[in-house]
Each structure stands twice: as C-alpha cells, then as structure tokens.
Amino acid sequence: MTSLDITAFEHPHNDQSTTHDADTTIHQLSQTDRGHRTPILQALSYEQTLQTLQQAPLILVREILNELKEAGYATQYTRLTVDLGLVTHRKDLKSNYLHTGVFEHVKSRLGWIVSLSLLGIFSGMIIASYEDALSALVILAIYMPVMADTGGNVGAQASTLLIQSMATGEITTRDWARVLWKEFRVSLIMAAALISIILIRVMGFGSDVDLPGDITLLQVAIAVSTAMAIQVISSSFLGAILPVFIRSLQLDPAVIVAPVLTSLVDMTGMLVYFFITTTMLNI
C-alpha cells in the first residue's frame, strides 16, 4: 500500500506554484485506477486537494474518499468529508442507523423538519389571503391539489435527472446556464401539453359548477391552464437549479434537494395559482 504522508497532505508544499489546475488533476484522478490515487493527492496541499474535489464529479469524490477510508487515513477522510459538506458534523461520520439512539436521530432531523414546516405555514397564509376569491369561485379550490401535485412531480423529475447527471460527472456546477436553458425548453413543451389537458378537464367536467354571472367556464379554464403552465416552468427551474446550487455550497444534493424542493414548490405554486387566476378573472 502506498504510504500517504499526512504532513505533506495537510500543508502546502513550498516548491509548488501558487496556481493549481484543478481540471488537470481531476482528469488525472479519473484516469487512474482505484487504489492508486492517493499519491496524486499527496503531491498537493490540503487546500489544493479540497479545491480539486470541490470541482470534481460527485461519484469521483465519493470513490476517492472511500479509498482514503479503506486505506486507513481517517484524519484526511474526516476532514475532507466535513469540509466538502457531505456531512454536517464530524459526529455523522461515526453514526450507524441501528446503533444510533432515537433522540440522536430526532436531533439530526428536527432542524430541517421545523424549518421546512415554517414554509408550509407560509403556504397556508397564502391560501388564507385568497379566502374571498375561493368563496366567490369555489371551482378554484378543485384544482389546488392538481397544481401542487403537478409542480412537485415536475420539480422532482428535473432534480432527479440533475442529481444523477452530477453523480456521473456529466454536469458540474459550472453548467448551470446550459441546464436552465435545456429545462426551459423542456418545460415549455410539457406546459403546452398540460394546458390542453386542463382546458379539456375544466370545460368537460365543470359545467355543473356555479359561476358568478360575469365569469364564463372558458375564462376559468384559460386562467387555470395559464397558472398551470407557469407552475410547470417555475417548478422545472427550481428542480434544475437546486441540485446545482446545493452542490456549489458543498452540500449533498441527494439528501437535501427533495424536502426543500417540495416545500418551495408548494409555496410558490399556491402563490402563482391564486395570483394568476384572480388577476385574469378579476376577482
């Protein structure tokens, strides 16, 4: 086994240039067989190693960290894992699900749950602020679950694809503009399809709903389908940008994206839905 010099790994080398080509090092690491990458890291300072792994594909980062762990370099593994944001605390590295106490699990999860619950409260406040509109046009309440579910599904699809592409190295944080441009085009097509479905749904099954005298069923259908289209586009954007943004903060998208995305889409979805429909229907 190649010996990894802890001192050399953790401190800058005096003979190294102050500049460091992370892309070249990433390519070298990806072309090197597993189990033989530690000498490459040994030639770098800790800061250069961290900079390289911050820009590397997530799957390569995990392979390198596993190699360090399996080779017995616990100090380097722990420090890099924490500094890369793959865990929130050093204690997380030693935890085991079955052997960790109930209160420890609660302690590690409660912060996220409470924070995201507050966003849920904002969603309720948005709905409450449009209580008069719901009273005047009950049909709007029928499509609230459709709006929330569709936004969540669209965002989840986009985020899952992005996390998978980031894990395989196809996409990095520097590709955010290309990601948004592609998701914009995809979401436009999906929005067009859903507009047709919502129009047919409202017009075909809403004839028995009581409407105010100055509002027609076609107007309701157009307003709801417009809100749906905007929700699809915004949810796709959120699902695409959240994994890239969270990864840029050196956090693990696979752990954080799903709960955050669900809360954001619920809140923005209700805001978009009621703002568009009430504005277009003048209620």
- Going from N- to C-terminal start, the domains of the chain cover 6-94, 109-281
**């370099």: which residue's tokens?**
73
**Tokens at 118, concatenated:** 């507050």
Token output for 73: 């370099």
Confidence label for 19 from pLDDT (cuts 50, 70 and 90): low
Read off the pLDDT band of 97 (50, 70, 90).
low
| Residue 263 burial by Cβ neighbours in a 10 Å radius (0-12, 13-18, 19+) | buried
The stretch 212-227 carries a mean pLDDT of 90
Cα separation, 240 vs 187, in Å, equals 11
Q: Are 108 and 92 in contact (CB under 8 A)?
A: yes
- 184 vs 193: CA distance, rounded Å: 14
Q: How far apart are CA 128 and CA 123, in angstroms?
A: 9
Distance CA 261, CA 283 (A): 30
Q: Which fold has domain 109-281?
A: Tetracycline Repressor; domain 2 (1.10.357)
Inform me whether the pLDDT recorded for 173 exceeds 60: yes
pTM above 0.85, yes or no: no
pLDDT value, residue 13: 45
Give the 3-state DSSP-derived string for 187-232, with helices as H, strands as E and coil as C: HHHHHHHHHHHHHHHHHHHCCCCCCCCCCCHHHHHHHHHHHHHHHH
H-type alpha helices, the chain = 6-10, 22-31, 38-42, 46-55, 58-70, 74-83, 102-129, 131-136, 139-142, 144-168, 176-205, 217-248, 253-281
199 pLDDT band (50/70/90 cuts)?
Answer: very high
Residue type at 252 in one-letter notation: D
Nearest to 153 by CA among 184, 196, 106, 190: 190
Lowest mean pLDDT among 80-84, 88-92, 231-235: 88-92
Lowest mean pLDDT among 70-84, 216-230, 240-254: 70-84
